[in-house]
Structure 1
Amino acid sequence: MTQQSAEERPGIAAAIVVYEGRVLMVRRRVSEGQLSWQFPAGEVEPNEAREEAAVRETQEETGLAVKAVKLLGERIHPATGRWMSYTACEAVGGNAHVADTDELAERAWVSHTEIPRYVPYGLFEPVQEHLDSALNR
């Protein structure tokens, strides 16, 4: 079996959800290297827009209904080699909790000053810029 390249594997869509001065983060049951805490995210399904995937994955993983506001950026993730898209989302209903107990161990609403404790290796620059603006209002 050959290893698939980033182009052959489905992309991953992440939702950057800011609510009441905090950003939603989840801790996976199985971490990808040092990627333990991250944003709600999952694979983009065939014929699905990356923004739609970010919305769907947030609902599936956390029970929180969100709407996509803006695509922040895309890249090949340096730690996983996966194609990633990051979408700013707005909460529109429900309460965030661990809805997918197979994938997630816990969730947290993280303040701007707490981000480095959850993500010590730093964030993708467009995501960091968005959070710098959105969390410092």
Structure 2
Amino acid sequence: MTTETTTEKPGISAAIIVKDGRVLMVRRRVSEGELMWQFPAGAIEPGEAAEDAAVRETAEETGLVVTAVKLLGERMHPKTQRLMSYTACEPVQGEARVADEDELDAVAWVAHSEIEEYVPYGLFGPVQEYLDEVLPR
């Protein structure tokens, strides 16, 4: 039995989904309507593995069914101070779309050369390394 306090914010699990030489990004509705591109992601539920959370959140947000391939890494996010987990996933069925309109504004399949336009502040090292390996340049 764990004795962690309930005041701690749950960790966030992000799915890094590659298909046809592109990576899936979602544009989230955040405060004041400012829109930001990121990977499908959400809070890890109590007792849930980071990989399972990435798969569940992807389905909830985009309608895309994916399978977890491997955990790429974890870090404290520099902006949010939340524990972030990043899981490489492969699409199994469905098409990515805005399934949760309260959370998302748009989805996009992004080529390697376009990542900087979507995420100008750069990606977490292990995520960038993985995308460098799997995406054509």
Question: Normalized against structure 1, the TM-score is what?
Answer: 0.91
Task: Check 1:92–1:10 CA distance in 2 against 1; reply closer, same or farther (3 A cut).
Answer: same
Aligned residue for 2:25? Answer: 25
Aligned residue for 2:3? Answer: none
SS of residue in 1 equivalent to 2:81: coil
Question: What CA distance in whole angstroms lies between the structure 1 residues aligned with 2:55 and 2:38?
Answer: 15
Structure 2 gaps, min length 5: 1-6
Deviation at 1:136, TM superposition (A): 2.3
Q: Is the 8 A contact 2:29 2:35 kept in 1?
A: no
Question: What CA distance in whole angstroms lies between the structure 1 residues aligned with 2:121 and 2:31?
Answer: 14
Question: What CA distance in whole angstroms lies between the structure 1 residues aligned with 2:21 and 2:50?
Answer: 25
Q: Give the 5 Å matches for 1:58-97.
A: 58-97=58-97
Question: What CA distance in whole angstroms lies between the structure 1 residues aligned with 2:127 and 2:13?
Answer: 13
Deviation at 1:58, TM superposition (A): 0.2
Q: Give the 5 Å matches for 1:81-120.
A: 81-120=81-120
SS of residue in 2 equivalent to 1:46: coil
Aligned residue for 2:127? Answer: 127
Superposed CA deviations along residues 53-98 of structure 1, whole A, max 9, x for unmatched, are 0000000000000000000000000011110000000000000000
Question: What CA distance in whole angstroms lies between the structure 1 residues aligned with 2:29 and 2:42?
Answer: 14
Task: Check 1:35–1:74 CA distance in 2 against 1; reply closer, same or farther (3 A cut).
Answer: farther
Structure 1 outlier segments of 4+, above 2 Å: none
Question: What CA distance in whole angstroms lies between the structure 2 residues aligned with 1:65 and 1:106?
Answer: 17
Task: Check 1:35–1:84 CA distance in 2 against 1; reply closer, same or farther (3 A cut).
Answer: farther
SS of residue in 2 equivalent to 1:128: helix
Q: How many matched pairs?
A: 131
State the percentage of identical aligned residues. 72
Structure 1 gaps, min length 5: 1-6
Cα RMSD of the aligned pairs, angstroms, is: 1.9
Question: What CA distance in whole angstroms lies between the structure 1 residues aligned with 2:59 and 2:130?
Answer: 21
SS of residue in 1 equivalent to 2:30: strand
Question: What CA distance in whole angstroms lies between the structure 1 residues aligned with 2:105 and 2:24?
Answer: 14
SS of residue in 2 equivalent to 1:16: strand
Question: What CA distance in whole angstroms lies between the structure 1 residues aligned with 2:38 and 2:131?
Answer: 14
